[in-house]
Amino acid sequence: MMSRIGFIGLGIMGKPMSNNLLKAGYDLVVYSRSPEPVLEVAGFGAKAGTSPKDVASKTEVIITMLPDSPHVKEVVLGPDGIIEGAHPGSIVIDMGSTAPLVTREVAAGLAKKGIRMMDAPVSGGEPKAVDGTLSIMAGGDKADFEKCYPVFKAMGSSAVHCGGVGAGSITKLANQIIVALNIPAMSEALVLAVKAGVNPELVFKAIRGGLAGSAVLDAKAPLVMERKFEPGGRINTHIKDLKNVLETGHEVGAPLPLTASVMEMMQALKTAGLGNADHGALIRYYEMLAQIEVELSNLV
């Protein structure tokens, strides 16, 4: 087992992920911009770092779980960043949803100092981060992936090597397209059912075992019908991801018309003050158009 792991970014995903590493027996050094989660995770046995540089100087593998691409560049390559403290041969693993071009830029900067990098974004949201069943999509050297596989398995139920550096980020973008398009499809279907006077819960039960069934449907339909829109995956976060999706699509010449449509739905909900709601709140867009709500009180 690796002697010590660094973890930077203890937000809604990073904190439970770091806790699962502690449960798996790893010696952890943690840092976050806010002191409160650092103190909380330290209470479970982690050691508190004073900066990304400090964390990197004390660890062999450094994991980042940060909100967006600019944060990754700053934490890894900026003043007091990981690059100033990491040793040659250390491995930096970015587990956030970072734009692929930024991933490759950061990897190139680290390589100049002999520091290795993997991108390993996750899918599953906060519930799966808590119970350690995330799906992990990794890009980087295959030998580095195999070395870090036990670390990934402490946080996820699956970890797949998708190719070289940046391949994990591309895979996450593909994942976010499918999730983003599933939720409006579910929303259209349930709004149609309620508007036509059919019980939405029975529609859900009837279709979930067939070809229309999906993990997204199973996760989001019950919450929608119970009007639970507390964030697992925020609309604002998904907007950030779809921005990366569309920019990458433009860069490589892949038109993404459905993704662009969903992006505009999310932007409309953000304007309506729902940016911090769960992305399941996309159904509110359709409900506003149809002037009806999909909820259990509408049973017939």
Q: By the 8 A CB rule, do 46 and 18 touch?
A: yes
Q: Which residue among the candidates 15, 53, 172, 220 is catalytic per the annotation?
A: 172
d(CA 9, CA 162): 24
SS3 track for 46-69:
CEECCCHHHHHHCCCEEEECCCCH
The residue written with tokens 């149809």 in the block is 290
User: How far is it, in rounded angstroms, from Cα 16 to Cα 87?
Assistant: 27
Known catalytic membership, residue 172 = yes
Integer angstrom CA distances of residue 146 from 6, 153, 159, 196, 220: 18, 11, 10, 53, 34
b/e per residue 45-59 (b: at least 16 CB within 10 A) = ebbebebbbbbbbbb
**If we measure between CA atoms, which residue out of 148, 78, 156, 142 comes closest to residue 110?**
78
Q: Which residues contact 222 (CB under 8 A, 6 or more apart)?
A: 204
CA 207, chain centre distance (Å): 27
Question: If you count them, how many residues does the chain have?
Answer: 300
Burial code of 2-27, b = ≥16 C-beta within 10 A, e = fewer? Answer: eebbbbbbbbbbbbbbbbbbbebebb
8 A C-beta contact, residue 33 and residue 39: no
Q: Which residues are annotated as catalytic?
A: 172
